[in-house]
Chains A and B, each alone.
Chain A
Amino acid sequence: MDSPTSSNSSSSRSPAMAPRAPARSRPASRWPDRVFFGLATAVGLSVIGLAVAIVVIIVYGSRYSFQAFGFSFLWGTVWSPTTDVFGVVFAVVGTLVTSAIALLIAVPLALGSAIYLTTHAPRWLRGPAGTAIELLAAVPSVIYGLWGIYVVHPYMQTTIEPGLKEYLGFTGLFDGTPIGLDVLTASVVLAIMIIPTICAISRDTLAAVPQAQKEAALSLGATDWETTRVAMIPYARSGIVGGIILGLGRALGETMAVTMLIGNVDRIPTSLLSGGQTIASLIATELLSNSGPLQESAILEAGLILLVIALTVNVIARLLVWRVLKGGGGGIVE
């Protein structure tokens, strides 16, 4: 351990007082310090232990399923508790499709808002709008789900989905009767939930662009948009991408709202208007269903897949965001 030595400040004491510990003694040899250090170390290591435990237990829980199906679990299309045959591809597809659509909707809106709030917005608006966005991020998932069922879903069912069917039906993406509780509605609400994350990070990285870069553009006679386009966005590029990936990470793991809106159908969705399932919603609805250890194990294995995907995405995102906010614009040669 590396703690510096403490110095003894008893030089002004009278000789009659009992001397303190020798001037060169290291604090580690005093037992309270040692105990504290030991405690802190134990706790610190337990955090690592927690991470390890999560992986171990989930892997252990999936062992039956892995033994039974091997890697074909990943692309198996049958999910049947009654016959004990499980393949998780429907949930993987559901997860990826909902997240992809959510990103497609969320990124333009979040980026656009971030640009507005850093360049065009009047100054009195920037603070309150930022706070409002933080509040949106703090709303719990169940509340988004409840709101989704009673506010978004009727609107989707009566207006949006028939409209999409009519105008874009030729793409084949909108087959089926619009019941409203389907992949599309879940994706829309999911988008609304990840916008605050992407917007906040984009806004922070755009605001961190040095004034000198902006002045360089302005002094060349650039308009506001040109300044944003030429001086700010390229500089903040990694951070923005990092924020988007972070939003993706959140979308992948989002459970409650999706469970309440996606229709909970254990099949690969054939259209955006059909019901489906994500891995998260699968776990939420079926883990306690008591249909036997194999199903439980299959669900845990699905959870393992989700864990791996979510962690990979998150690590990539953090590396990008961290790099920009600690200094240095996107992709500079040092």
Chain B
Amino acid sequence: MRKFDRYARRKLLSRIIAVLTGLCVIAVLYPLVSIVYESFALGGAVLFQAQFLTTQAPNGCSVIACQTVGIGPAVQGTLIVVGLAAGISVPVGVLAAIFASEYRVRGLGRAVSFTADVLTGVPSIIMGAFIYGYFVIYDPQIALSFYTGALALSAIMIPIVVRTTEEALRVVPNSVREAAMALGISKWKATLRIVLVASLPGVATGVLLAVMRAAGEAAPLLFTLGYSTLWFTSLSHPGANLPILIYTFALSEYSNQVKVAWGATLFLLILILVVNVVSRLMIHRMRVRMGGI
């Protein structure tokens, strides 16, 4: 029978493809292994020093015994600016998503949804440039400050929160809304206390995603939060920030600063990993307690 001549070749091809694609997976995952490994190797010693988190960043120096501690202000700065940004973007994002999903206003809801989608594709550096462009004209005094930094990060976070909240709201079955309506509960209460609560795991996931993204961004802060190595002084002054620290020190010609960059990298990676894992567990428990929505 003619068809069986080629049979061995076909099986062999399938096996070769299986091996090749398997190699692709190895190639794809290798950078992750490398990044984690190098972070520990080059930043581990730095991270686990006593004052790593409590002192300021060192000046560049080329002597062997140079100080390699000090990302305190950067961690503080990141917490403040991301916290501020979250404070703006979470309410705004959730409310906008509620508008798009719970109220039918002549296609405006769809417009909001589509716009948020489109906004996720705006490069983060453009967000920074846009905020800078506004403030450098209208209020140059605080062009480089926590305020503008928070605004730039919010511009990045809001579309993420809107999209994920909208998805989460959409999953809540209409019967829930109808039941609330039938019980005479006013719409705003029903939306906030019932529908939103029902979609909380999804919303929480989205918020955490946005927060983690903002914590790692440097580009939009280049021209908004600016650069500093000092502890927090005021919201209208520029501030320190982890990703910017990593960026600046990575390019430093002083090896002690480079080591600090690696230490900060390890710190940031662990932070992201921990937040990731903890949030998944929390959200999983939320889901279980609510009976698997």
Interface residues of A (CB under 8 A from B): 1-4, 6-9, 20, 27, 30, 32-33, 35-37, 39-41, 43-48, 50-51, 53-54, 57-58, 60-61, 108-113, 115-117, 120-121, 129, 132-133, 135-136, 138-147, 149-151, 192, 195-196, 199, 223-226, 228, 249, 252-256, 260, 280, 283-284, 287-288, 296, 299-300, 303, 306-307, 310-311, 313-315, 317-318
Contacts and interface: CB of A to CB of B under 8 A. Distances in A.
B219 A37 contact: no
Contacts of A199: 28
A260 B120 CA distance: 24
A27 B104 CA distance: 15
Question: Which of A30, A113, A144, A146 has the largest number of chain B CB atoms within 10 A?
Answer: A146
Given A40-B99, A140-B243, A223 B105 contact: no
Question: Which of B98, B99, B258 has the largest number of chain A CB atoms within 10 A?
Answer: B99
29 contacts: A6-B184, A8-B184, A9-B182, A35-B188, A47-B115, A50-B115, A54-B155, A60-B133, A116-B18, A116-B21, A135-B273, A135-B276, A136-B31, A140-B217, A142-B243, A142-B265, A143-B35, A146-B261, A149-B250, A150-B42, A150-B258, A223-B11, A224-B18, A249-B121, A283-B125, A284-B222, A288-B223, A299-B129, A315-B118
B95 A4 contact: no
B148 interface: no
B87 to A, nearest CB: 14
Contacts, number: 284
B284 interface: no
B253 interface: no
A146 B125 contact: no
B14 A225 contact: yes
Contacts of B181: 4, 6-7
Nearest to A313: B121
Interface in B204-221: 212-213, 215-219
A115 B21 contact: yes
A255 B223 CA distance: 13
A45 B246 CA distance: 37
A176 to B, nearest CB: 22
A195 B14 CA distance: 24
Interface string B1-22: 0000000001101100110111
List of 9 A-B pairs having minimum Cβ-Cβ separation, nearest first: A253-B123, A140-B216, A314-B121, A112-B24, A44-B99, A116-B21, A36-B188, A223-B14, A40-B99
Contacts of B183: 9
Please classify how large the interface on chain B is, using the bins under 10, 10 to 19, 20 to 34, 35 or more. 35 or more
Contacts of A143: 35, 39, 216, 246, 265, 268-269
B195 interface: no
Contacts of B261: 146
Interface string B168-209: 000000000000011111111101000000000000000000
Interface of B: 10-11, 13-14, 17-18, 20-25, 27-29, 31-32, 34-35, 38-39, 42, 91-92, 95-96, 98-100, 102-105, 108-109, 111-112, 115-127, 129-130, 132-134, 136, 155, 158-159, 162, 181-189, 191, 212-213, 215-219, 222-223, 243, 246-247, 250-251, 258, 261-262, 265, 268-269, 272-273, 276
Contacts of A133: 28-29
B261 to A, nearest CB: 6
A291 to B, nearest CB: 14
